[in-house]
Amino acid sequence: MGHLEWGGNFSGPKGPGYVDILNCMHCGLCLPHCPTYALFGLEKSSPRGRIALLRAVAEGELTLTDGLAEEMYLCLGCRACETACPAGVKYGELLEAARVQVERNQYGSRLWRLVKRRALDLFLSPRKMRRVGKLLRLYQRGGLQWLVRKTGLLRLLNADLAALEKLLPPLPPRFSSETIPEVTPPQGEKRARVGMLTGCVADLFMAPENEATVRVLAINGCEVVTPPAQRCCGALHAHLGEMEAARELARHNIAVFEEANVDAVVLNSAGCGAAMKEYHRWLGQDPEWAERAQRFGAKVKDLSEFLLALGLNRRDLHPLECRATYDDACHLAHGQGITEEPRRLLQAIPGLELIELPEASWCCGSAGIYNLIHFREARQLLERKMKHVQSTGAELLLTGNPGCLFQLRYGVQEWGLNVRVEHTVTVLDWAYHPHRRPEEFSRPSPDSE
């Protein structure tokens, strides 16, 4: 009876599960871990408060309103409350179901719904995504971005739009779908055949990190398959209440990686990994796909957990003399329960001094597209994060998720910190391939030969 549906003032058969709502004991242990409660100090902006609102709607005491819809989207969806909850309340599932209700009843402004619909439609088509990526690359590399920023044109039109434009990360010369072959052979003895999700946004903006992931897997004895037919994981659609589109993408990716016949599906994106591990929940009521989704989810692994389970190749690691700190991506720490594995990978690199970051599991404010739709709140959270980063004295700030990577890079630039932000896999790749390191991390070491 874990997900008994309850009517009340929810519409349709798929409102948030009433039994799941009742599991909340109202103990308040989640409150100190909730970023929006820390920002506003309001009960309604806490996990406990939002669950109370959902219960009132389920029991017919409240109706769905624009105010309630706004509160559901004010939540970051970081799931830190799940880690803190002694009752095991599945808050992330409740939030997704609540947002489905919001979208079904079309609350919020018409402009927001139109923009969201157009944006999410892009993620359904890799071809359209790459087309947009090429236009953005032309904007960045053709001089238009320089002109826009130099003249302050956007700032004259709209200060918020000018601030948002700064969040746009630079695009690499080529996308990872153009640079990574469909099959990459292992180096040395073959230990596993793995599939890799290159992602949608990551394909456009994280080609270097995707290429590094392939190299690290290969040097650890993996044959790496990156199927060209793969599509977006569906995480953004699920988080924004578009569950049917999320299920469509899930079915497609399951079939694609089944055909690839791989031992595991390895990801370098915390958000994508958390979503794909939950395909069995998305498709649990689909008799044709439920069992396939369960089998598929068991194969989905974050890069850090996969490498440690496989047995990390330590023999080919070269010393990397630097001070680094690690920031937990929310959907890795709270969504997948993976915190020690990335740290153990980094600690395996000779010469790297890993400094613990205060509030490492506190959200940086990226949270999918949260930093786009709630820019001011996201910036407040980022400022808090930057103060902690500065306190470590680290040269490198590492994380394991694309959105976090872009947000943190924006943060160190805005706050003027002399810190380089990289994905965990990039630093691991530097340790395996010293010639790929940037100049500032190429200091000679007596053990480097």
- Give the start-to-end residue ranges of the domains of the chain: 18-104, 113-165, 176-309, 316-441
pLDDT at 111: 60
Cα 296 to Cα 292: distance, rounded to the nearest angstrom: 6
319-361: pLDDT as tens digits: 999 999 999 999 999 999 999 999 999 999 999 999 999 999 9
Residue 15, pLDDT above cutoff 70? no
Q: At 199, give phi and psi (nearest 5°).
A: 85, 175
pLDDT at 11: 66
Predicted model pTM = 0.91
Beta-carbon-side half-sphere exposure of residue 194 (alpha carbons within 13 Å): 30
What radius of gyration do the chain's Cα atoms show?
22
Domain 316-441: which topology?
Answer: Rossmann fold (3.40.50)
Cβ atoms of 273 and 267 closer than 8 Å: yes
Type of residue found at 239: H
pLDDT at 62: 82
pLDDT at 164: 79
166-202: pLDDT as tens digits: 888 899 999 999 999 999 999 999 999 999 999 999 9
Instruction: Considering the domain delimited by 176-309, tell me its CATH architecture.
Output: Up-down Bundle (1.20)
Q: What tokens appear for 144 in the block?
A: 């238009």
Instruction: Considering the domain delimited by 18-104, tell me its CATH architecture.
Output: Orthogonal Bundle (1.10)
Per residue in 404-423, is it b (16+ CB within 10 Å) or e — as a string? bbbbbbbbbeeeebebbbbb
Cβ atoms of 304 and 425 closer than 8 Å: no
Q: Rounded mean pLDDT of 110-124? A: 71
302-323: pLDDT as tens digits: 999 999 999 999 999 999 999 9
29-60: pLDDT as tens digits: 999 999 999 999 999 999 999 999 999 988 88
pLDDT at 7: 55
Task: Provide, rounded to the nearest whole percent, the portion of the chain with pLDDT above 70.
Answer: 92
Residue 243 CB partners (closer than 8 Å, separation 6+): 14, 96, 100, 237, 282
